[in-house]
Amino acid sequence: MNHNRVVCFDLEMCCWNENGVGTTGEIIEVGLAEIDLVSGEIVKRAQYYVKPEHDEVSLFCSQLTGITPRKIEKQGRPLAEVIKSMVKNFGGANKIYAAWGRDDRVLREECQAKGIDMPFNEFINLATLYRIQNRLKDKRIGHKAAQESKGIEWEGRQHSGYVDAYNLAKLALTML
């Protein structure tokens, strides 16, 4: 296990908003940013688009994430291929992965449903860690608000897995 490196990741999923109720479906993007805890730097970034097997990218989802059906059609790959690329380029079970919230659970459930091995074993929920470190107890706080509360500027468009993973890596460097 490499305890000097943590891979921050963020998922974007197919999403809909009907009558004010939001629902999500299959993963359509995985953003990753690896940090080196010794140097205190972001050392690697990647973005993978995933072609959903059952869902479609809605207009609401495109407006929220910037991911269009055309982008998925042109650049998307099956989740199994994306997972292989993640493991090849970022390491699998020998790395610690981290997300804001329970993206590990979302990924695990979709991997299980599709017969794919989970790409990592060790996971840190940075939202929980942030609440503990800042004594917030039951109060929830979003990733962007948490980052801004630490004086770290948000860069880029929110709800892009690539951008969110990068920003999470910047925040994680102050927490780990």
* Confidence (pLDDT) at 22: 85
* Confidence (pLDDT) at 141: 92
**DSSP H helices in 59-160:** 59-65, 69-75, 79-90, 103-113, 126-133, 143-149
Confidence of residue 20 (pLDDT cuts 50, 70, 90): confident
Q: DSSP letter at 134?
A: T
* Confidence (pLDDT) at 138: 75
Segments making up each domain of the chain, as ranges? 5-175
Q: CB atoms < 10 A from the CB of 56, how many?
A: 13
Stated pTM of the model: 0.95
CA-based torsion, 100, 141, 171, 64: positive or negative: positive
What percent helix, strand, coil does the chain show, rounded to 5? 40, 30, 35
Lowest mean pLDDT among 17-21, 59-63, 103-107, 125-129: 17-21
* Confidence (pLDDT) at 21: 84
* Confidence (pLDDT) at 12: 98
Residue 79 makes CB contacts below 8 A (sequence gap 6+) with 26, 27, 50, 110, 111, 114, 116
Which one-letter amino acid corresponds to residue 142?
G
Which one-letter amino acid corresponds to residue 61?
C
What span, in angstroms and rounded, lies between the C-alpha atoms of 100 and 129?
A: 9
Q: What's the topology of domain 5-175? A: Nucleotidyltransferase; domain 5 (3.30.420)
Burial class (CB in 10 A: 0-12, 13-18, 19+), 112: exposed
* Confidence (pLDDT) at 76: 98
